Amino acid sequence: MGPVARLALHSPLQVNAAPAPADVPRSYAQWSVWLDRLSEGLQDEACLDAMRAGELNASGGVVTLFSQRLAEEFNARLMRCSEHLTRDLSIGNDESQVVRAILNARKHLAFLHRLAHIESFPATLRTHLTDELRKFAQRAQQSLEDSARTDRSGRLLVLLRNNPLVRYEPAAQDGGAASTARAMGMGAAVGAAAQHPLSQTGARRRNIIL
């Protein structure tokens, strides 16, 4: 297995219908309920809405306990994102599939970006989560580019630079839809243009990605 596939990033989490109405979190017990729901990964948007409206009591060690749990969930999602990206890249046979794998990972990073910037969280926690996300995306992007340098055609490196993982903030600001559509349009065009050459060099490219 090559360096790109070994790159570590949680599979994109599906956002289902909003949960039944619940109290806005104020006590640690209420925050804990929403943290549990967040870890399930089935009510992400509802969790964001509730946490944005919540109030975090700074007394009694609540902030410390909450910050520890949220940081653990944040890191777990980064790891699952890595695993999902690795899997998608390992089965990608052409440029369009590579772009799709990157976009899926970037959509996940965009959600984490939104989570990290919830104003009801302590400033130190927001800074920590934001820094962890930024460093993760930078390391992942660099790993992908380093691996792609062995592609003599240079197409894979250009593709990765045109669709970087670190460009997750615009996706977070517009909910991901517009930026995903733009990148997918670019990826489809690249994939269509390169379809015939890939039929001759697919095996070599798969080895680069794996």
Residue 193 has pLDDT above 90, yes or no: no
pLDDT of residue 57: 82
pLDDT of residue 22: 54
pLDDT of residue 19: 43
Residue 144: which of 172, 129, 163, 130 has the closest Cα? Answer: 163
Mean pLDDT, the chain, integer: 78
Residue 24: which of 2, 1, 56 has the closest Cα? Answer: 56
Residue 134: which of 110, 158, 118, 157 has the closest Cα? Answer: 110
Question: pLDDT-derived band of residue 23, with 50, 70 and 90 as boundaries?
Answer: confident
Instruction: Please state, in angstroms and rounded to a whole number, the distance separating the CA atoms of residues 170 and 64.
Output: 31
Q: Which residues contact 13 (CB under 8 A, 6 or more apart)?
A: 41, 42, 44, 77, 108, 111
Mean pLDDT of 117-140: 96
Tell me how crowded residue 173 is: count the other CB atoms within 10 A of its CB.
13
CA–CA distances in Å: residue 171 to residues 13, 41, 104, 116, 165: 15, 19, 11, 14, 11
Mean pLDDT of 37-50: 94
